[in-house]
Structure 1
């Protein structure tokens, strides 16, 4: 048996685990404790009188070695004892000589308990030696029994010995903390990571994480509570970082405008990170194009897009908004920016690298620390964000650089999204404007002005359109339509429908017949798209045909809101038009509503985006629109239609509209009675001469003698053809305005056809001559037959 001489008795221990025995000077056991009997399995009676050596697990190894005591027993050390069952038990012991006696008191404890006591003691000593955390032991009344905090400790926030929590906490905080600790005492459930506000002496309020657990004696009765306060600085920094990233995501990128997005970025970074921020973007980005790839020094093609300052003003010596970044030198931090790296540097380094000429433009007077971060997306440098600290004394640190890099990376995606939207929106707007007619028209039948505002105040191009289509015989078609949906698909559909309406209008169809053909076209368009999207292919349309000679206006609607009429006397009326089905439904007829319009009447055609505002009743909004048009037209004389249109649209778009808005205003005109002349003739070849004489006389009275020869030929050919192929009666009409129109009507529906006659043919050259003598000619059908018309310019060829 061997024994060590380590002095383990300086450690804390539990008295319940100590084994005691009394030996005489020869090492014979005189008595021992119940703990010894429990440890080795021998009662005091059984062991009394036995030498202590008999208890050793290996007596052949001789006597114990160690610090000498009586009978060769070391005064302290370790020994391997044998349990009654034969199981060895290692103990640490100490022999204490009793004064005035030859006997010795042996104190022993199992080594495994000693190791545990030693580790516990080392842990507690190390814990109380920490200066970054605050440790406390509190009794059942929550008074501090022990703590590692002294009154001299900087930021000391734990009560000193015998103190209470309310001495260092505000009343509310102390009450919350003591309630939490009492729950730990009552339930035994530990408290982990509870955030606690602590008022430290002479230090601003600090946040700590409080952990607590109950202390118990060996029987398990609570004796107090231990607390550990850990500073939340690291957690606060991480939480602050996450809060900033979250706020950046919420505040940056809400707009699809590159300038607004850049300004949002600048305004967020001040005061979140710095005192002065500016954002520079590539010139191409402002237009929606991709920036050029940067290589080397020289022009970066950047322009200052946004600025923000903690003071609210930017020094005038710095590069201002809208200014172009001058030629830059090839310096290290610019090379890093081109590689997509965020750069942290000081004012001296920045000034030295920029040089004396550029430094005043980019280095603020009180700036002492700066961060540069590229707006890097898809391998392209869209721009640069620069943030300075001028009033804050602390310079930027690595954590700030990493945070700005992440914010700039996210902001770059928002800028790139805005750039791409700008490009697509510009293309869509260009397409839309190319597909829409001129906003104003001034023709013999009407004076017209149109307005169009995309949904969202320009956020999304749609399929609303208006049109003013001059027709033969000075008539005019007024059209307004609304394609279902938004975006380029709706715009493309609108373009196809507008082209179709113009083509059908040139055929001089009646409004109901034209909408029927247009309905068939929309159904064919629906068949071309994916079956899942056929339900969203459709449109509404209002078609009005006005004749300034008869002053008649024929209107037909395909699911469109009714037009508004304001008479010259200022009274307004919503025209009751039979609402046909929207285009694309098919299978239902369209009805025509006819009315006579006085000269100077204003007709308002519009899409539902002008009246479907905020869920209001449509009929009430249409009535309100009629009153608004009447009020704006009641200005004496002939108020400008374009101005009236702008006023009506601006009222409806004070809040960005959720749907497109299209408005067409037309002020009607009437042809004077003396500008027309009409005759009726029977189907007799003899009346050709009479018709020519009538035309000649009328032209002379109008002072258009220079058109007599051509007009006589035209009338001769058209009347002769009508007599030969259609029969009578035959109607002849001349209309004079900015052109001279000659019309010949007959009861036949057979359309004339221009052909090239062979040299052996005796006829077939009449319409060819008409085409050569006129600026244009054509034919239209009616319920009673057809009308062939031909137009001539009033200007003499000699002029």
Structure 2
């Protein structure tokens, strides 16, 4: 039993008893022509086809949510039903066969638009079923008004059922094919957009650039204007406070089809707030996307309450807004808002899904970028705190340094440099490079730099220092359970002596330095030829088992020593040999200062975003002339200690340092006495006037004196105690020939 709206039930009892053909034969026996009656009813219904279509659409819209929720689809549904009714009435009137019937154009368009608006195919088929049943009910009502015979309506309906089912099967099949074709096109377009987003978004580990890429992809594929806002807390890798009364966002990027983004109310870099419970705040805090039609539903409260937002919506005719939260790894980061004003088509479910796909991909890249930025900032801060902020001025060399962290994805490395004052007016120049990137590399760099400074205080030869430093790295490997390639480093340690003008160096897997001799009269435009030191390079630190070797060479006063890490000579599109050639060229160019030479090298060799850290240390050598150094050879005879004291006081008088005569006499007396008594020939006394007064006594023995506390009745053991009390610092260093005991005193006035 079938019924439509308020119509009476259709009783199929006659059909059930006699069958359709039996009923038709019976009605013909009664003298009634079913086909003629059906055509007559059709002719009466044709003038009222629009009203019939409206009744059918009303019934269908109530049962199909997508049609009832979308104004454009509702209008198209009415036109589609009108064309269906006209086609069906015309087919009955002229007795046409359903095999030649094509679905009306509006029906095909309705199926296509339903797919584009995100409607399900079951809704399309349900609309055909409901429309079919409703149309049969309307026909029955009209037939019932045309005859008084009780069996006629059932017989006519039975004749119509076979015809209408064939029509519905054919036209619905064509509509489903159109729906599927549109759906495939939509999915393909969505897939292309998602692929494009994957290709264009996340090309760097920069938050601002990633957000701008999201905005540009959104405008190219979905919207007329896109704004990307992030929580301040998310930018600094903190958990954002989501229980506040206001949600504060920072505009990171926006993009528009209009030049200059005139729709933007908030400039990039500025913050703005939304009240808790508003659309944007809800999207950020809950992670649920939202869609708003500002034209049909009226302005949302957060737009209506903001005069700048309201003016922008009205001025540009913004009619639809999509809000997609930016969440990654369960943490809210911000929101992406998509607006339409030039494109009159409203956003639909598919647009919302596409926006979610693009935003979710971008959120992962933004989260990775912020984590990388946070780690890089921390590592860079750690490294900058571990590196010397200011290189201490030294009378042996003038220095200029540059450190440039890498700008690539690999993160901050472990490059370091150092300038370490040594005894005897000497200075140590150090550069190194730790394997790896990030916080661990920076921390390892700090440990190695501290170890180098500690070992430098012992005044070891460069090869011996690197051997001890190698042991430090190997011990760290064992303690942390790491492999050699996980904790390893290269290091170059060089010592310059301004008295002898000799540079001693050793390398542990590090690139060898370059040096430039001073300019001499007749040089063309002051251009000099840079040279690279030729020396054996030992293995990197942490591999052990192989020796290091110290090389010594004389460096004229005024020469420039260039120590650097491999990031300076290696890079994209350049091999190390080409980098060395470029460095040779730039080092040879004259400059008004050492800093100018340093800047010229950096500008000529380091790109804007280097792929590796770069450390560069330039040192211009100085020399101490004979007026600042005096030496006395002493035979192994205690009676000559007075001669050593006289020699020292005479030199202090010549240097106008009579104020230091008493303390210097005592220091010389004690050091020379120890060397003659406990050391071996030759014994040499040397005084050096630099920024301090340095007294050195060298002998051929390797035994080291020790400071001890003498007891009350001891006759000796107080010599080094006196030396320690009278000097600022003292110590022992070992040479190939023996040892040197030294003591430094502060000058009473400015250094000469």
Match of residue 451 from structure 1: 402
Q: CA deviation at 1:779?
A: 0.7
Q: CA deviation at 1:475?
A: 0.4
- Kindly provide the CA deviation profile for residues 756-794 of structure 1, in whole angstroms up to 9, marking residues without a partner as x: 222232222221221122111111111222111111111
What is the CA–CA distance in structure 1 between the aligned matches of 2:319 and 2:569, rounded to whole Å?
A: 58
What is the CA–CA distance in structure 1 between the aligned matches of 2:473 and 2:618, rounded to whole Å?
A: 26
What is the CA–CA distance in structure 1 between the aligned matches of 2:23 and 2:658, rounded to whole Å?
A: 139
What is the CA–CA distance in structure 1 between the aligned matches of 2:359 and 2:208, rounded to whole Å?
A: 15
| 1:230 has 2:178 as partner | yes
What's the TM-score, normalizing by structure 2?
0.73
Match of residue 517 from structure 2: 567
- The secondary structure found in structure 2 opposite 1:784 is coil
What is the CA–CA distance in structure 2 between the aligned matches of 1:782 and 1:692, rounded to whole Å?
A: 25
Q: CA deviation at 1:576?
A: 0.9
What is the CA–CA distance in structure 2 between the aligned matches of 1:583 and 1:521, rounded to whole Å?
A: 9
Give the alignment partner of residue 243 of structure 2, picking from 286, 295, 304: 295
Match of residue 556 from structure 2: 598
Q: How does 1:395-434 map to 2 (within 5 A)?
A: 395-434=346-385
Give the alignment partner of residue 262 of structure 1, picking from 208, 211, 230: 211
Structure 1 residues 4 and 435: alpha-carbon distance in aligned structure 2, compared to 1, 3 A threshold: same
Match of residue 787 from structure 1: 740
Q: CA deviation at 1:291?
A: 4.3
Q: Is the 8 A contact 1:744 1:788 kept in 2?
A: yes
Match of residue 454 from structure 2: 503
Q: Is the 8 A contact 1:317 1:360 kept in 2?
A: no
Q: CA deviation at 1:594?
A: 1.4
- The secondary structure found in structure 2 opposite 1:534 is coil
| 1:665 has 2:618 as partner | yes
Give the alignment partner of residue 329 of structure 1, picking from 272, 275, 283: 275
Gaps of 5+ in 2: 1-15, 32-82, 88-97, 111-172, 520-527
| 1:489 has 2:489 as partner | no
| 1:586 has 2:551 as partner | no
Q: CA deviation at 1:734?
A: 1.0
What is the CA–CA distance in structure 2 between the aligned matches of 1:343 and 1:151, rounded to whole Å?
A: 34
Match of residue 547 from structure 1: 497
Q: Which moved more, 1:316-325 or 1:784-793?
A: 316-325
Q: Please identify which structure carries the higher strand content.
A: 1
Q: Which moved more, 1:463-472 or 1:380-389?
A: 380-389
| 1:773 has 2:721 as partner | no
Structure 1 residues 7 and 746: alpha-carbon distance in aligned structure 2, compared to 1, 3 A threshold: closer
- Kindly provide the CA deviation profile for residues 23-54 of structure 1, in whole angstroms up to 9, marking residues without a partner as x: xxxxxxxxxxxxxxxxxxxxxxxxxxxxxxxx
Q: Is the 8 A contact 2:265 2:308 kept in 1?
A: no
What's the TM-score, normalizing by structure 1?
0.69
What is the CA–CA distance in structure 2 between the aligned matches of 1:373 and 1:648, rounded to whole Å?
A: 48
- The secondary structure found in structure 2 opposite 1:561 is coil
| 1:747 has 2:700 as partner | yes
What is the CA–CA distance in structure 2 between the aligned matches of 1:790 and 1:692, rounded to whole Å?
A: 15
Q: Is the 8 A contact 1:455 1:656 kept in 2?
A: yes
| 1:702 has 2:660 as partner | no
Q: Is the 8 A contact 2:322 2:352 kept in 1?
A: yes
Q: How does 1:45-60 map to 2 (within 5 A)?
A: none
Match of residue 313 from structure 1: 260
Q: How does 1:274-289 map to 2 (within 5 A)?
A: 274-286=223-235, 288-289=236-237
Q: How does 1:623-772 map to 2 (within 5 A)?
A: 623-631=581-589, 634-635=590-591, 639-654=592-607, 656-772=609-725
Q: Is the 8 A contact 2:278 2:302 kept in 1?
A: no
Q: Is the 8 A contact 1:776 1:791 kept in 2?
A: yes
- Kindly provide the CA deviation profile for residues 302-355 of structure 1, in whole angstroms up to 9, marking residues without a partner as x: 2211111111212387221111215x4345424522222222224442356551
Q: How does 1:109-508 map to 2 (within 5 A)?
A: 146-148=100-102, 230-231=178-179, 232-286=181-235, 288-298=236-246, 300-315=247-262, 318-326=265-273, 328-337=274-283, 338-347=285-294, 348-350=298-300, 354-357=304-307, 359=309, 363=313, 365-366=315-316, 367-438=318-389, 440-457=391-408, 459-508=410-459
Structure 1 residues 388 and 152: alpha-carbon distance in aligned structure 2, compared to 1, 3 A threshold: closer
What is the CA–CA distance in structure 2 between the aligned matches of 1:710 and 1:778, rounded to whole Å?
A: 17
Q: Please identify which structure carries the higher helix content.
A: 2
Structure 1 residues 357 and 727: alpha-carbon distance in aligned structure 2, compared to 1, 3 A threshold: same
- Kindly provide the CA deviation profile for residues 533-585 of structure 1, in whole angstroms up to 9, marking residues without a partner as x: 33444332222110011101112222222211111121211111122233333
What is the CA–CA distance in structure 2 between the aligned matches of 1:227 and 1:381, rounded to whole Å?
A: 46
What is the CA–CA distance in structure 1 between the aligned matches of 2:487 and 2:239, rounded to whole Å?
A: 38
What is the CA–CA distance in structure 2 between the aligned matches of 1:151 and 1:375, rounded to whole Å?
A: 42
Gaps of 5+ in 1: 12-64, 76-128, 134-143, 157-225
Q: Is the 8 A contact 1:4 1:66 kept in 2?
A: no
Q: CA deviation at 1:668?
A: 0.9
Q: Is the 8 A contact 2:410 2:437 kept in 1?
A: no
Structure 1 residues 280 and 5: alpha-carbon distance in aligned structure 2, compared to 1, 3 A threshold: closer
What is the CA–CA distance in structure 1 between the aligned matches of 2:361 and 2:204, rounded to whole Å?
A: 14
Q: Is the 8 A contact 2:211 2:252 kept in 1?
A: yes
Q: Which has the larger radius of gyration?
A: 1
- The secondary structure found in structure 2 opposite 1:473 is coil
Quote the RMSD (CA, aligned, Å). Answer: 3.7
Structure 1 residues 307 and 643: alpha-carbon distance in aligned structure 2, compared to 1, 3 A threshold: farther
Q: Is the 8 A contact 2:680 2:699 kept in 1?
A: yes
What is the CA–CA distance in structure 2 between the aligned matches of 1:705 and 1:730, rounded to whole Å?
A: 25
Q: Is the 8 A contact 1:319 1:361 kept in 2?
A: no
Q: Which moved more, 1:769-778 or 1:228-237?
A: 228-237
- Kindly provide the CA deviation profile for residues 242-285 of structure 1, in whole angstroms up to 9, marking residues without a partner as x: 33223223322332221112111111111322212222222233
